Amino acid sequence: PATSHPAAAHPATSHPAPRGACPFAPPPAYQQAVRDEPVTRVALWDGAPCWLVTRHQDTRDVLADPRFSADAARPGFPFLSAAARQIGAGKTSFIRMDDPEHSRLRRMLTGDFTLRKTAALRPAIQQVADRLFAAMTTGRTRADLVADFALPLPSLVICLLLGVPYEDHEFFQRCSRSLLNRDSPVEEVLAAQDALTEYLDTLTDSKRGNPDDGILSRLVERGELPTEEIGAMGRLLLIAGHETTANMTALSVLALLRHPDQLAHLRAHPEATPAAVEELLRWLSIVQTGVTRVAVEDVEVGGVLIRAGEGVICQLNTANRDEDRYPDGDTLDLTRDTRRHVAFGFGVHQCLGQPLARLELEIALDTLLRGLPDLRLAVPFEEIRFRHEMTVYGIETLPVTW
């Protein structure tokens, strides 16, 4: 029979825990937990205890189980910062709701992110990538891959899809960076949330008499949702739609440059890019703080009893390196079987934008690697700054040359 864990009252490890010598690997304390105590207790920023689920199968079990709620308004929901707690108490988007409300709202967007719909975007995305690539390389031999390519590509694409003017990108990129940074002062995060909310509400209203073929406009025309609800969806898509893919692109290029054998394999086998993208998603698992839920009933997970009202973090990056599922999981191997990885989460909240993210990553890597056969770092690896403080892991800048 399951028992409450003896360490429950005094968690020894913090969340998030520091990474070790390898900046690509999950925190060593968590990787140790996978072996020693796969469902373990951690202390959040305010000292509150929370369960950390570290194994692959347990993660999928939790995320597929309706007894774990994503509703931030429920008592015991684990917030990863003071600002997140304040925002979570207010009106949020469907990523923080349970079914049936969650699926009612999510269903209004699924048609925009099907495989077929996404595949049809390929020429348009390739065109954006080609344009950015030309601007970055023409007459130059050095660039910051983040600012010049990895960030603008998904940002331009999500703006196009939503019907958000890209010329406002400095504003909304600044807001989303504040929102995703756990070290931002609370007032700054709340101000960013308010500014972004007001921006999207105003933009949504402006579509009323003036429709276009973006998602916001289509939601307006459906006539089922109030402005605030459309604005909240727009906010979710705008933030999720560019920070994630941008960081994945930059980290992927860096990871490949650090693994010349893997890079050579990819250069020699252009048809292997989709498989490479999956392995990079697994190996990097950039949603580094994991995904959060609260138990609404007592549930046993991995032999441990989690009680109703207790918070749970599914630590995606350790799950994706769990040796039981991915032998030699710490090794980047572009030819491995990556099926069932949880980089996009699992269950009803599994990433809505994953077909788009995959396509963007594929196009980004192909464009860069085919176009720059001599691509390399322009600074020593040790000088690259990793974004430890962000919900979504990444790098600030990636100086490259060719």
Torsion of CA 35, 41, 43, 44, to 10 degrees: 90
Rounded least distance, CB 63 to ligand HEM, Å: 6
List all residues 6 or more positions away from 305 whose beta carbon is below 8 Å from its beta carbon: 2, 3, 4, 298, 299
Q: Cis bond leading into 100, ω under 30°? A: yes
* Max CA pair span of the chain: 68
> Of the two residues 5 and 85, which places its CB atom closer to ligand HEM in the complex?
85
Rounded least distance, CB 1 to ligand HEM, Å: 29
CB count within 10 Å of CB 369 equals 18
Q: Is 397 left (phi over 0), alpha (psi -120 to 50) or beta?
A: beta
Residue 388: closest CA among 44, 43, 20, 87: 20
Rounded least distance, CB 194 to ligand HEM, Å: 21
Rounded least distance, CB 239 to ligand HEM, Å: 9
Residue whose beta carbon is closest to ligand HEM = 353
> Of the two residues 70 and 125, which places its CB atom closer to ligand HEM in the complex?
70
| Lookup: tokens for 79 | 């917030």
Q: Which residues lie across from 179 on neighbouring strands?
A: none
Instruction: Please give the radius of gyration of the chain, using alpha carbons only, rounded to the nearest integer.
Output: 21
Rounded least distance, CB 135 to ligand HEM, Å: 22
Binding site for ligand HEM (CB under 6 A): 70, 94-95, 106, 158, 236-237, 240-241, 244-245, 248, 286-287, 291, 343-345, 349, 351-353, 356-357
Q: Which residues lie across from 401 on neighbouring strands?
A: 142, 376
> Of the two residues 245 and 273, which places its CB atom closer to ligand HEM in the complex?
245
Q: What single letter denotes the amino acid at residue 100? A: P
> Of the two residues 60 and 349, which places its CB atom closer to ligand HEM in the complex?
349
- CA 285 to CA 341: how far, in whole Å? 9
- CA 281 to CA 245: how far, in whole Å? 10
In which residue are the tokens 């967007």 written?
109
Rounded least distance, CB 245 to ligand HEM, Å: 5
- CA 98 to CA 143: how far, in whole Å? 44
> Of the two residues 184 and 249, which places its CB atom closer to ligand HEM in the complex?
249
Rounded least distance, CB 66 to ligand HEM, Å: 13
List all residues 6 or more positions away from 87 whose beta carbon is below 8 Å from its beta carbon: 189, 190, 193
Rounded least distance, CB 7 to ligand HEM, Å: 25
Rounded least distance, CB 382 to ligand HEM, Å: 26
List all residues 6 or more positions away from 371 whose beta carbon is below 8 Å from its beta carbon: 133, 137
> Of the two residues 27 and 394, which places its CB atom closer to ligand HEM in the complex?
394
